[in-house]
Amino acid sequence: MPSELGLYIHLPFCARRCPYCDFWALPFSPAWAKPLRQALGRHLARLTEIHPVSGRELTSVYLGGGTPSLWPAFALSSLLAEIKKNFLLAEGAEISLEANPDSLSPGKLIKLRQAGFNRLSLGVQSFSPKSLEILGRSHKPGHINRAVQWARQAGFANLSLDIMYGLPGQSLPMALEDISRLLALGSEHISLYQLTLNPDTPLGRQYRTYCAPMPDEALLLAMEDQGYQMCERAGFTRYEISNFARPGFNCRHNSSTWRGGDYLALGPGAHGHLNGCRWANYYDVAAYITAWSGGGEGVEFYEQLPPEQRALELFMLGLRTAQGVDLEQVSGIIGQPASQYYRLALARLPALGWGRIIYPYLKPTALGLRMADSAALLFFPE
Ligand code: SF4
């Protein structure tokens, strides 16, 4: 079983809500900042009591959102200090902070680095002023280079940059220009996402996938193929469908979750997983604060996953990664050899050209990565 233990902290506030966003994020309300910070402290102090982890060290801490970098440096630093008081951090633990390029300053980055944050994940999304405007992002292209420069000066040696393609009105040269400008910033990690429009979001109501001015399927494939090649030529390896890293810089936190690893959850709407039990904290910020003011646990649901469900999730997540699925891990979970239990699916994948077995791993091929969702369907119970 994976031995990593992560801690995911969800800070759901954003300066404003982007019209394509379907994450759990809310416009920032100053009235909530102090009580939420206090609730996080109370929750943190009881985290290992609620979820016994028997002295296991944290191998990763991930502050996501929302836009956690909106919080002042002292609030984020004191939160990390409290985490260190309540947990042992493994040597070289990865401590990530998601940030928007316009919510940083040189002084803030220095304080965050000194507090122990060692990985910064910047939501660049595009360098085109027009695209950033359509996406409703609060930053301008000028904020991006500046934020990267400040992060380097502050000592961040592990920088991840997110960019999107498939934007309204985007042509192939525009998408490749964005990727080229991103690569020129010399980060250690890149996340390259296709914009998928949820029809329940304002942008989703305004545009429909594959309808002009959205790029059609052929154009999206060209953006994807040529974008991936550019990343690989620049020294990045694609280790998950949307994620690329230089050697040694795969995101440790996310990689562990994709291998079915354990992670605890702090903050409204955060999800956790420990030994096959999954839970989510209250999504509602006010309810989360009230629960933690009154000694409650603020948990939306707990569920113990049946072994077949855990195994299925390993296929769903692992078939999106270059490493693939550890069949010995699957066998351990279902209590019988995976090679027998999934005999038909394991024979179908190579026959379709979607995967190959390099024991103990079932690894997707390049085509298999593209077909990851269909490949995982083969492992659903009959
Ligand atoms: S910054 Fe990110 S989390 Fe916040 S609203 Fe925009 S897309 Fe959603």
Q: What is the pLDDT of residues 149-204, one digit of tens each?
A: 999 999 999 999 999 999 999 999 999 999 999 999 999 999 999 999 999 999 99
Residue 30: which pLDDT band, with cuts at 50, 70 and 90? confident
Give the tens place of pLDDT for each residue, 104-156: 999 999 999 999 999 999 999 999 999 999 999 999 999 999 999 999 999 99
Pick from 13, 18, 132 the residue to mutate for probing ligand 1's pocket: most ligand atoms within 8 Å of its CB.
18
- Is the C-beta atom of 197 inside 6 A of ligand 1? no
For residues 43-53, give the mean pLDDT.
92
- Find the mean pLDDT for residues 11-25: 92
Tell me phi and psi for residue 173, to 5 degrees.
-60, -35
Point out the ligand 1 atom lying closest to the alpha carbon of residue 137.
6
Q: Which of 10, 13, 14 to mutate to test the pocket of ligand 1 (most atoms within 8 A of CB)?
A: 14
For the chain, domains (ranges, CATH) are 5-257 (3.20.20.70), 307-377 (1.10.10.10)
Q: What is the Cα–Cα distance from 205 to 196, expressed in whole angstroms?
A: 12
CB 17 less than 6 A from any atom of ligand 1: yes
Q: Which of 27-31, 134-138, 235-239, 267-271 has the lowest mean pLDDT?
A: 27-31
**Single pTM value for the model:** 0.96
Whole-number Å distance, alpha carbon 330 to ligand 1 midpoint, is 35
Range 280-288, long-range pairs (CB < 8 A, 24+ positions): 281/10, 281/43, 283/24, 285/12, 285/26, 285/32, 285/36, 286/32, 288/36, 288/39
> Is residue 269 in contact with ligand 1, taking CB distance under 6 Å?
no
* C-beta atoms surrounding 145 within 10 Å: 15
Q: Is 298 in the pocket of ligand 1 (CB under 6 A)?
A: no
> If you measure from the C-alpha of residue 83 to the centroid of ligand 1, how many angstroms do you get, rounded to a whole number?
25
Atom 7, ligand 1: residue with shortest CA distance: 21
- As a whole number, the mean pLDDT across the chain is 95
Residue 2 has what pLDDT? 47
- Ligand 1 mean position to 254 CA, how many Å? 19
